[in-house]
Structure 1
């Protein structure tokens, strides 16, 4: 690893070579708790100084796509330019490969030099799950005990860890997947983690049987048909929707949106997320009825949960802003270690 005095600037001088931060190094740097805390402390200021464009989404085939997500700042407090390049190949599950893969490249906004490139597959898993974890601090009941994880793909263990970090009262995790064996395998793997002593994990094959038990229901699938039925959500539940990022995708039905108070990670969710786009078109909810976005919750501009009986819904589609903040933490930690 590159070494730097802790009192020196976090950006190497112009003669320094770009560094590569592998997936293993990234995972040794980040924890879900530290990234949730970093988002909470930096998101309000960073959102005010970072600039982004609309995510560029290019279909490569009927099922696969390429996404480009740039972000930049000219402020000396966050002097970076970053670009994430992501491929989405959902059919990769049949090949035992991640469906989402990519790279993140970080530049200096002062000199334009390339500072680092890093694995954005792991970066995306961490930042996506920690955005949900941060949202659950404001939207889930803080005495929540049961988490229902819908999906057992690469993002599922990260979401479970993020929610457990954000809501320490959680004691039971049900994992559902269309392939029951995947859910059971993930549950067994998590049972071996000493970090989760006192938390029980169980794989299950019938979502309708367990979704009503969930104080938090977190979804990370590629489904284009509703999986979570709103009528089955318990009073006071928090529904976390992560999987969909285009209008044809949806993880819950209209009833879940109708019953819940909806919040989003950023405004792009209003035009990209199938659950919301469809609900708007069908008159289930109006755009101005969306309760607010994540940065408004963190700043205290909007109030999240106002009653223990209310159902809350958080829909995230990802943003270049949280990519940049996550990459900043990884890079600055790396060069100082």
Structure 2
């Protein structure tokens, strides 16, 4: 029987220091990541199926399958599983919870990018958005920069407080971090060293006039061409990095809309994450630069995370067998 690895076990297997380092190495490897497949399952309820494959020819192959059912009321609208195969033999090794993998690898990729793009002494992190991904973003960023203050802004104060309580429950969050709910987005933007946005907004939330020199912005929410989180003024004054050029130029509204308006010049998009990891670009060039990292996700990250989960599962199984 093919083993299933639950959300709880995926969570236990994926610790941010190890995942961030594994992603740094994976972005330097020859991993094949075709464009993801998207299929509409029902026009009546607008449900869809996404397939995200990736493989290392001499290692493992993985496919994340995601269903989106916006009409759901009593259950989540997004569900996902990940299936891991041996690339040489084609044998299926395991399948595991895909939602936990997505949240962990998304946060870890942003923290990895921040290690190249934010100022080394960055201490104030602002979360814009208070959904399920937000606490993961904060925890991951705390592993690459000396964060001592986290501000949370969202349209619902109640949800922001819930996000704060979730963060306080994390036993692996550094103890010296002050966590607050903000009702002043402009003021928080002006004082933050790192701003991470994880929203589903279709209108710019962050204004360029609020952003001070030296700020790093991490944009993970706008994953469709009609979505965006920052305005034209901000993009015009920023040095922009992306997780992959392929994904950014196909799906990232913050990139596509500002390229179309002319506020962002294509030459201002200077590198993708693989360039940073391989040392082809050094990242931040000065203390005064405003840097933007725009990600839409890549199956390479899913495969990297799944490999760590599989290694953890095998080690745990061997220890149990010998006990």
**Partner residue of 1:83?**
63
Inter-partner Cα distance in structure 1 for 2:122 and 2:250 = 31
Structure 1 residue 22 and structure 2 residue 6: aligned? Answer: yes
Match of 1:284 in 2: 263
Which of 244, 250, 263 is the matching residue for 1:271? 250
3-state secondary structure, aligned to 1:249: coil
For 2:243 and 2:112, how far apart are their aligned partners in 1? 10
- Where does residue 222 of structure 1 map in the other structure? 200
SS where residue 270 of structure 2 aligns?
A: coil
Deviation of 1:90 (Å):
6.0
Going from structure 1 to structure 2, the CA distance change for 1:99 and 1:140 (only over 3 Å counts) comes to farther
C-alpha contact 2:151 2:181 (8 A) present in aligned 1: yes
TM-superposed deviation, 1:73: 2.5
- The answer as to whether partners of 2:135 and 2:166 remain within 8 angstroms in 1 is no
Q: 1:313 aligns with which of 271, 287, 292?
A: 292
Q: 1:106: Cα distance to partner?
A: 0.7
In 1, Cα distance between the equivalents of 2:170 and 2:62? Answer: 34
User: What number of residue pairs does the alignment pair up?
Assistant: 312
The alpha-carbon deviation at position 123 of structure 1 amounts to 0.3
Structure 2 unaligned blocks of 5 or more:
317-323
SS of alignment partner, residue 147 of structure 2: coil
Decide whether the 8 Å contact of 2:28 with 2:277 is kept in 1: yes
Matches of 2:68 and 2:216, distance apart in 1: 27
CA distance in 2, matches of 1:302, 1:238: 17
Q: Return structure 1 stretches of 4+ with deviation > 4 angstroms.
A: 59-64, 89-92
1:91 deviates by 6.8
How far has the Cα of 1:99 moved from its partner? Answer: 4.6
List per-residue Cα deviations over 1:189-242 (Å, max 9, x = no partner).
323445321100011233223111110000001110111111101110000000
Alpha-carbon distance in structure 2 between the residues aligned to 1:219 and 1:231: 17
Written as runs of structure 1 = structure 2, the 5 A alignment for 1:54-203 is 54-59=35-40, 65-75=48-58, 79-89=59-69, 95=74, 98-167=76-145, 169-194=146-171, 195-203=173-181
Q: Report the aligned-residue RMSD.
A: 1.8
Consecutive unaligned residues in structure 1, runs of 5 or more: 1-16
